[in-house]
């Protein structure tokens, strides 16, 4: 039988059972759309979280003082360690695997502008801190080395701090009283999408000043601690590949200065953002894989629906098959008709599902979404997997019903009521 005639009869048969055909095709459409959308959202979540982690810092390690866990060099275990600005200088001078370093002083003081007042956290840092902590000026400028060298009374505001202290007013160039000292606002930071932080909160809520200025004007109140004390030291290795070696090198330097064993993890606690990023990436890769498997199972269920509907069609059209065979149709003609019918259902619905999935992803990328919902990414792997699954459904869902119809004899068919 000519292919054109097979297609005509197939389309006629599908039209006679419009509702049933539509519901069967909807299962395939939903499955293909789910694969593309769920995998796209999983990848979008992964990319979004990586960007948010980068706002905390680009491949950095934050060093926190702890308490020694083992004896070392004649010193007993249980000693509380303190970090100083001299430690940061030693790392800068001796650690060949460290690209940038900065001490951090953190405290909460009063801030008063001519429009409002607040009590927010202030951080005293070196200028290079701005580079690896992803601080970007939306207005004005950031610190420069001369600000630190001269102990200039200049300040950079986080986005939320700026909105409170200078509501709807220009901040750059204005004077802000910080703990009673007049500081000039030189910059306002670009707002960050920041899930986490350390110390005193997200960067949007903070104010930043040169370390030398803060150490002179309003250092944290730490009775009994020698001058130069700092809360933390932040370091950036020369490359991600050298990250672990760089952290070991820093541990060795600080262990020599503070008389503890480099292997004593309790003495110096390190928050490694690179390891955190890798751990988060593994979690979201697993989540994306889970989404993809669930979506592919949904698509496979749609394929079972196609096979079921084709078996029903064979049962309903048994007399038709017998008449066609009695008039000279071969088993091959019958088999091709049912295979073609199955292929049309799966390929048409698969194409619609592909267009819907890609279309929804494109639409969600251009419309504004809440911060907690990422923009989905169109995954070629998800499209390929869904198309391969669709091809398997086309073959398996139509083959058995087609062969069952082709193997029926005319006498068997014509005896059917």
Distances (CA, A) of 71 to 122, 260, 262, 332, 386: 36, 7, 12, 86, 60
CA distances 166 to 38, 188, 223, Å, are 43, 11, 34
SS3 assignment, position 108: strand
Work out the average pLDDT over 310-319. 67
Structure tokens at 42: 């999983």
- The DSSP H or E segment spanning 100 is strand 98-112
Distances, alpha carbon 50 to alpha carbons 183, 218, 281, in Å: 35, 35, 8
Euclidean distance between CA atoms 332 and 3, whole angstroms: 12
Rounded Cα–Cα distance for residues 256 and 5 (Å):
88
CA distance 203 to 57: 11
pLDDT (tens digit per residue) in 241-275: 788 888 899 999 999 998 898 888 888 888 877 66
Split at pLDDT 50, 70, 90, the class of 170 is: very high
| β-bridge mates for residue 72, sequence order | 75
For 327-342, how does the pLDDT look when each residue is reduced to its tens digit (9 = 90+)? 676 767 777 777 777 7
224 Cβ contact list (under 8 Å, min separation 6): none
- Name, of 55-64, 208-217, 276-285, 297-306, the range with top average pLDDT: 208-217
Q: Which of 169-173, 226-230, 306-310 has the lowest mean pLDDT?
A: 306-310
**Per-residue pLDDT band at 132 (split at 50, 70, 90):** confident
pLDDT at 122: 94
Binned at pLDDT 50, 70 and 90, residue 3 comes out as: low
pLDDT given at position 114: 92
Q: Is the pLDDT of residue 155 over 90?
A: yes
Residue pair 379/42 in contact by the 8 Å Cβ criterion: no
Four-residue CA torsion sign, 22, 24, 26, 28:
negative
pTM across the whole model: 0.64
Q: Are strands 175-178 and 98-112 parallel, antiparallel or unpaired?
A: antiparallel
Number of residues that make up the chain = 417
- pLDDT, greater one: 325 or 43: 43
How much is the mean pLDDT over the chain? 80
Residue ranges of domains in the chain: 3-53+279-414, 67-266
Q: Does the structure show a pLDDT above 60 at 55? A: no
Listed in sequence order, the residues at least 6 apart from 413 whose beta carbon sits closer than 8 Å to its beta carbon are 318, 319, 321, 322, 323, 325
Task: Compute the 3-state secondary structure of the chain and give helix, strand, coil in percent, each to the nearest 5.
Answer: 55, 20, 30
Pick left, alpha or beta for residue 77 (phi over 0 → left; psi -120 to 50 → alpha; otherwise beta).
beta
**pLDDT bracket for residue 280 (50, 70, 90):** low
pLDDT at 243: 82
As a whole number, mean pLDDT of residues 75-87 equals 87
Q: Which residues of 35-48 are buried (b: 16+ CB within 10 A; e: fewer)?
A: bbbbbbbbbbbbbb
First-to-last CA distance in the chain?
A: 27
Q: What are phi and psi of 98, to 5 degrees?
A: -105, 125
Judged by phi (left if over 0) then psi (alpha if -120 to 50, else beta), residue 143 lies in beta
The predicted structure's pLDDT at residue 157: 95
Residue 183 burial by CB count (10 A; 0-12/13-18/19+): exposed, middle or buried? buried
pLDDT band with cut points at 50, 70 and 90 for residue 96: very high
Give percent of the chain with pLDDT exceeding 70.
Answer: 76
Band (40; pLDDT cuts 50, 70, 90): confident
- Count other Cβ atoms within 10 Å, centred on residue 263: 12
If you average pLDDT over residues 4-19, what whole number do you get? 66
For residue 182, pLDDT beyond 80: yes
Cα 64 off chain centre by: 27
Mean pLDDT over 19-28 rounds to 75
Q: How far apart are CA 21 and CA 25, in angstroms?
A: 6
Check residue 214 and give its pLDDT: 94
Q: Which residue has the higher pLDDT, 347 or 68?
A: 68
- Average pLDDT value for residue range 22-33: 79
Question: Is residue 179 helix, strand or coil?
Answer: coil
């Amino acid at each position: 039988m000519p292919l054109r005639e097979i297609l005509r009869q197939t389309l006629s048969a599908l039209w006679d059972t419009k509702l049933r055909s539509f519901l069967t095709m909807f299962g395939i459409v939903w499955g293909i759309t789910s694969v593309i959308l769920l995998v796209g959202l999983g990848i979008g979540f992964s990319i979004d979280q990586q960007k948010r982690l980068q706002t905390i810092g680009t491949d950095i390690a934050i060093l926190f003082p702890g308490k020694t866990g083992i004896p070392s060099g004649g010193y007993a275990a249980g000693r509380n360690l303190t970090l100083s600005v001299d430690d940061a200088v030693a790392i800068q001078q001796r650690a060949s695997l460290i690209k940038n370093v900065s001490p951090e002083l953190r405290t909460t003081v009063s801030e008063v502008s001519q429009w409002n007042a607040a009590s927010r956290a202030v951080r005293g840092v070196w200028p290079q801190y701005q580079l690896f902590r992803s601080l970007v000026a939306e207005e004005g400028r950031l610190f420069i080395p001369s600000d630190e060298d001269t102990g200039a009374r200049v300040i950079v505001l986080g986005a939320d701090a700026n909105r409170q202290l200078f509501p709807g007013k220009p901040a750059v160039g204005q004077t802000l009283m910080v703990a009673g000292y007049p500081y000039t606002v030189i910059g306002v930071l670009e707002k960050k999408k920041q899930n986490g932080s350390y110390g005193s909160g997200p960067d949007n809520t903070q104010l930043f000043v040169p370390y030398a200025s803060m150490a002179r004007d309003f250092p944290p109140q730490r009775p009994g601690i020698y001058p130069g004390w700092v809360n933390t030291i932040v370091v950036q290795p020369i490359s991600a590949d050298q990250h672990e070696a760089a952290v070991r090198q820093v541990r060795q330097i600080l262990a020599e200065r503070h008389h503890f064993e480099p292997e004593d993890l309790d003495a110096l606690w390190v928050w490694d953002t690179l390891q955190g990023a890798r751990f988060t990436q593994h979690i979201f890769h697993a989540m994306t894989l889970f989404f993809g498997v669930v979506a592919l199972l949904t698509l496979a269920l749609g394929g079972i629906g196609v096979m079921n509907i084709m078996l029903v069609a064979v049962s309903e059209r048994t007399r038709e098959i017998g008449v066609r065979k009695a008039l000279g149709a071969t088993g091959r003609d019958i088999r091709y008709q049912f295979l073609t019918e199955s292929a049309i259902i799966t390929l048409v619905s698969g194409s619609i599902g592909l267009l819907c999935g890609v279309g929804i992803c494109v639409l969600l990328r251009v419309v504004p979404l809440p911060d907690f919902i990422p923009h989905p990414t169109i995954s070629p792997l998800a499209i390929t997997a869904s198309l391969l699954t669709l091809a398997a459904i086309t073959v398996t869902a139509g083959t058995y019903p087609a062969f069952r119809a082709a193997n029926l004899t005319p006498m068997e068919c014509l005896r059917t009521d």
